[in-house]
């Protein structure tokens, strides 16, 4: 039998149903893997007792024929989702000991579906970062590091989730994507990462970064697993005013394997200067794979793409500065101690101590672009450009059904590299940010290896609420690419 930690979500689900192993056995195998690979720093808070308790309950439900869609499946939960009675930190000192009295809608949906939470995964502080190095709890290591003999970043901000899935510590994990925080770490870590359409999954109970961009999604080993997990995560929520009241299709049933006649758009603007040749070659290879499967490849134009990164780094920090104003040391979270002159002094000292450098940088940028003299010059203009970016996609979808691009402009880089240059770090999101600004569904599929033997992903972007076509195309691409490489640590 395949090692339990090597199973996909679908295989584990079917194995539990067939009685090949129990939910407790499956959960124990992952708890052991978490213990063995603590050096990855993938989790901030581990919950083994809670996981075993839920696994026992799952075994009883499976036995009685009352199993949910994710019954008994052990997963990681990004530490941005509020979990009732379980510490939720957003990887920040300011929320170091925060224990929510309520459950986020997405984690609650997964719980109802029977998923077993192994713990809360590490991330960039308040989801601000592309490398998982800004966490107050230390950097996460990419499981692929051993393959090249150095410590690599797993991507960010959902780096702990990516490392947990790629390293076999969890069957799957939740992530959140504001500008690429699911897709980029998925590419760096050789897994599948799906950002659904904005509004597909509720944001209620997720610690907010940028409210008009944040979206929860699954991080899994396969496209089928992403479809299975999204089914349990998604749905309309009365608690979230941005949650969409749309039908929830059967995502797994959409994986028909047939993309004959589908039109795949290739945006010329994504061929950026200085992009490594191996990324361009992989992109071309992806085109050929989809063409061989019966799809038609067409050229499309997204002319405002060149403004996307600048637009994002005005809109997201502006919303962050507003959202993070609630952390003031008064009602919950870290509070500055010692001699405090007045309330302003409490606010300033609490925030200076509680927020890390990157978070402070983004709050300051956001406050600046929202300030009286600069609002029109920056924020108002960025919102107009955002509309133009969304319109570019609308026009492109008049000619095609799905758009194919690289996920990232590079492979995973070493921990410590690019840290002294925030702009270089922000460039990691150059291909993922436009999708987020337009609120569209996008998925990263591992498609090949770089010259140094590290995973590279390709991204598929779809029309709003057309995750079915995105998943169907991704499934075909995944099968054609037949990506089977694994981190060396899984061989042990």
* Alpha-carbon gap, residue 339 to 336, rounded angstroms: 9
User: ∠438-427-169 over CA atoms, to 5°?
Assistant: 85
CB 440 within 8 A of CB 274: no
CB 156 within 8 A of CB 124: yes
Helix (H, G, I), strand (E, B) or coil at 243: coil
Residue 41 has what pLDDT? 98
Helix (H) or strand (E) holding 397: none
DSSP string, 66-109: ---TTTT-EEEEETTB-BTTB---TT-GGGTT---SS--HHHHH
In this structure, what token pair is assigned to residue 130?
A: 């592309």
Q: How far is CA 207 from the centre of its chain?
A: 14
Nearest to 174 by CA among 144, 195, 204, 199: 195
* Alpha-carbon gap, residue 105 to 236, rounded angstroms: 10
CB 19 within 8 A of CB 40: no
* Alpha-carbon gap, residue 390 to 312, rounded angstroms: 13
Which domains can be identified in the chain, with CATH numbers? Answer: 4-261+400-491 (3.90.1300.10)
User: Looking at the annotation, which residues are catalytic?
Assistant: 78, 157, 181
Query: What are φ and ψ of residue 5, in 5° steps?
Result: -75, -10
Angle between helices 105-112 and 223-233 (to 10 degrees): 110
| Burial of 338 per CB tally in 10 Å (0-12, 13-18, 19+) | exposed
CB 318 within 8 A of CB 370: yes
Long-range contacts of 61-64 (CB under 8 A, 24+ apart): 61/114, 62/16, 62/17, 62/23
pLDDT in single tens digits along all 492 residues of the chain: 569 999 999 999 999 999 999 999 999 999 999 999 999 999 999 999 999 999 999 999 999 999 999 999 999 999 999 999 999 999 999 999 999 999 999 999 999 999 999 999 999 999 999 999 999 999 999 999 999 999 999 999 999 999 999 999 999 999 999 999 999 999 999 999 999 999 999 999 999 999 999 999 999 999 999 999 999 999 999 999 999 999 999 999 999 999 999 999 999 999 988 888 999 999 999 999 999 999 999 999 999 999 999 999 999 999 999 999 999 999 888 999 888 999 999 999 999 999 999 999 999 999 999 999 999 999 999 999 999 999 999 999 999 999 999 999 999 999 988 777 776 777 788 999 999 999 999 999 999 999 999 999 999 999 999 999 999 999 999 999 999 999 999 986
Nearest to 204 by CA among 175, 238, 170, 172: 238
What Å distances lie between residue 339 and 343, 379, 428, CA to CA? 12, 38, 42
Helix (H) or strand (E) holding 195: strand 192-195
In this structure, what token pair is assigned to residue 485?
A: 């490489």
Helix (H, G, I), strand (E, B) or coil at 263: strand
Please name the residue ranges forming H helices in 355-440: 357-370, 381-396, 422-426, 433-438
Nearest to 173 by CA among 229, 102, 126, 92: 229
End-to-end Cα, the chain, rounded Å: 16
Q: Could you tell me which residues are beta bridge partners of residue 442?
A: 195, 461
Query: What are φ and ψ of residue 26, in 5° steps?
Result: -65, -45
In this structure, what token pair is assigned to residue 233?
A: 């995560």
């Amino acid at each position: 039998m395949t090692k339990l930690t090597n199973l996909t979500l679908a295989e584990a689900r079917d194995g539990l149903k067939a009685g090949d192993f129990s939910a407790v056995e499956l959960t124990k195998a992952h708890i052991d893997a978490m213990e063995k690979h603590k050096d990855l720093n993938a989790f901030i808070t581990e919950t083994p007792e809670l996981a075993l308790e839920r696994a026992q309950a799952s075994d009883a439900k499976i036995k009685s024929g009352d199993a949910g869609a994710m019954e008994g499946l052990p997963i990681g939960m990004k530490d941005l989702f509020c979990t009732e009675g379980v510490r939720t930190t957003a990887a920040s000192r300011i929320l170091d000991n925060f224990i929510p009295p309520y459950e986020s809608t997405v984690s609650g949906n997964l719980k109802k579906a029977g998923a077993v939470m192994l713990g809360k995964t590490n991330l960039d502080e308040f989801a601000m970062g592309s490398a998982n190095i800004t966490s107050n709890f230390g950097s996460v290591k990419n499981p692929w590091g051993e393959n090249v003999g150095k410590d690599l970043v797993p991507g960010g901000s959902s780096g702990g989730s990516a490392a947990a899935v790629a390293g076999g510590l969890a069957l799957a994990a939740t992530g959140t994507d504001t500008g690429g925080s699911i897709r980029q770490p998925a590419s760096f870590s050789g897994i599948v990462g799906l950002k659904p359409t904005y509004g597909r999954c509720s944001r209620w109970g997720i610690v907010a970064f940028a409210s008009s961009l944040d979206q929860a999604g699954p991080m899994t080993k396969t496209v089928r697993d992403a479809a299975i997990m999204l089914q349990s995560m998604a749905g309309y929520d009365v608690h979230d005013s941005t949650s969409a009241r749309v039908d929830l299709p059967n995502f797994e049933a959409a994986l028909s394997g047939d993309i004959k006649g589908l039109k795949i758009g290739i945006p010329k603007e994504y061929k950026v200067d200085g992009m490594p040749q191996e990324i361009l070659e992989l992109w071309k290879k992806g085109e050929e794979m989809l063409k061989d499967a019966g799809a038609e490849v067409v050229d499309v134009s997204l002319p405002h793409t060149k403004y996307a990164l600048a637009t994002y780094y005005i809109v997201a920090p502006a919303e962050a500065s507003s959202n993070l104003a609630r952390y003031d040391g008064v009602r919950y979270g870290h509070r500055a101690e010692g001699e405090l002159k007045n309330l302003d002094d409490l606010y300033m000292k609490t925030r200076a101590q509680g927020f890390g450098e990157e978070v402070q940088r983004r709050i300051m940028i956001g406050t600046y672009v929202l300030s009286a003299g600069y609002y029109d010059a920056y924020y108002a203009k960025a919102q107009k450009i955002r509309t133009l970016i969304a319109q570019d996609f609308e026009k492109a979808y008049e000619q095609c059904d799905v758009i194919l691009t690289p996920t990232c402009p590079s492979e995973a880089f070493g921990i410590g590299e690019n840290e002294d240059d925030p702009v270089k770090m922000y460039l990691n999101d150059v291909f993922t940010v436009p999708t987020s600004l337009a609120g569209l569904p996008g998925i990263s599929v591992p498609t090949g290896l770089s010259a140094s033997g590290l995973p590279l992903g390709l991204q598929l972007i779809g029309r709003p609420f057309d995750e079915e076509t995105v998943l169907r195309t991704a499934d075909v691409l995944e099968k054609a690419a037949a990506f089977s490489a694994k981190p060396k640590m899984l061989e042990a």
